[in-house]
A and B are shown apart, each in its own frame.
Chain A
Amino acid sequence: EADIYQTPRYLVIGTGKKITLECSQTMGHDKMYWYQQDPGMELHLIHYSYGVNSTEKGDLSSESTVSRIRTEHFPLTLESARPSHTSQYLCASSEYALRGTRDEQYFGPGTRLTVT
C-alpha cells in the first residue's frame, strides 16, 4: 500500500483566501506531481518536481505554486482562491525515471476543494 498522504481531505473556503494543500510521502520517491481532476474527467498535470529544489509547470495552466524543500513534502499553494479553482486535487509520487526503475505513480487520497 502506498504511503502518500494529503491534508485536508475536504476544504470549503471563501473567494480571495490563501490556501495550502499538503502532500507528504514516506517512500523516498524523487518525483512528485500535482493533478487536478473534475468529476468524470481526466487527470490534468499542474505541477511536478524531480527532487529537492526542482519544480516545473505541467500541461494545465494553473494559478497555483509549489515548493520542494524536502524530498518527502510537496505543498501546493493558491494565493487567492476563486470559484474556478473548485476541483479535486491529487498528489502522486514515483521513483525517478532516469534510474530505470519502476515508473508507476502512487496517489494520495486527494483534497476536494470548494471555493464559494
Chain B
Amino acid sequence: EDQVTQSPEALRLQEGESSSLNCSYTVSGLRGLFWYRQDPGKGPEFLFTLYSAGEEKEKERLKATLTKKESFLHITAPKPEDSATYLCAVQARGQNFVFGPGTRLSVLP
C-alpha cells in the first residue's frame, strides 16, 4: 500500500532561521512527488513536482529535493508569510495521489 509520512508534525521557527521538512514515502513505481502549501481555510497551492531521485527544484526561499525514499523541503531564511501547512503527495504509475498529513510551519517575527 502506498504511504506518505511527514515530519515534524509542527515546526516553529524564528524569522531567518532556516530548516527542512521531511516527506518519507513508500510507493510502487513513483511517477511523481508533489509539494503543496495550504493556508487555513483554503485549498492547497501547488509548489513543486519532482520526478526522479537527485532532482531539485527551487522557488524563492523554498528548495525541494528527492531521494529514492524521501523528499526534503528546505526553507532558507523564512519570513512570517511562509507560515502555512506544507503537504507532500506521491503519485504511483497510473494511480491517483496519496497525500501526507502535512507539516504546520509557524514563522515568528
Binding site for B on A (CB under 8 A): 2, 6, 33, 40-43, 45, 48, 58-59, 90-92, 97, 102-110, 112
Interchain Cβ contacts within 8 Å, total number: 55
B43, B94, B101: which contacts A90 (Cβ < 8 A)? B43
The reply to whether B31 and A107 form a contact with Cβ atoms under 8 Å apart is no
Binding site for A on B (CB under 8 A): 31-32, 34, 36, 41-46, 49, 87, 89, 91, 94, 96-97, 99-102, 104
Whole-angstrom distance between the Cβ of A85 and the nearest chain B Cβ: 18
The reply to whether B45 and A45 form a contact with Cβ atoms under 8 Å apart is no
Q: List, sorted by A's number, 11 A–B pairs whose CB atoms are closer than 8 Å.
A: A33-B96, A40-B101, A41-B101, A42-B100, A59-B96, A103-B31, A105-B46, A105-B97, A107-B43, A107-B44, A107-B46
The reply to whether A103 and B96 form a contact with Cβ atoms under 8 Å apart is no
What chain B residues lie within 8 Å of A97 (beta carbons)?
31, 91, 94
The reply to whether A103 and B99 form a contact with Cβ atoms under 8 Å apart is no
The reply to whether A42 and B31 form a contact with Cβ atoms under 8 Å apart is no
CB-CB nearest in chain B for A39: B40
The reply to whether A45 and B43 form a contact with Cβ atoms under 8 Å apart is no
Q: How far is the CA of A108 from the CA of B41 in the complex (A)?
A: 11
The reply to whether A104 and B42 form a contact with Cβ atoms under 8 Å apart is no
With A48-B96, A110-B42 in contact, do A103 and B49 touch (Cβ < 8 Å)? yes
The reply to whether B41 and A110 form a contact with Cβ atoms under 8 Å apart is yes
The residue among A41, A90, A104, A110 with the most chain B CB atoms within 10 A of its own CB is A104
What chain A residues lie within 8 Å of B94 (beta carbons)?
97
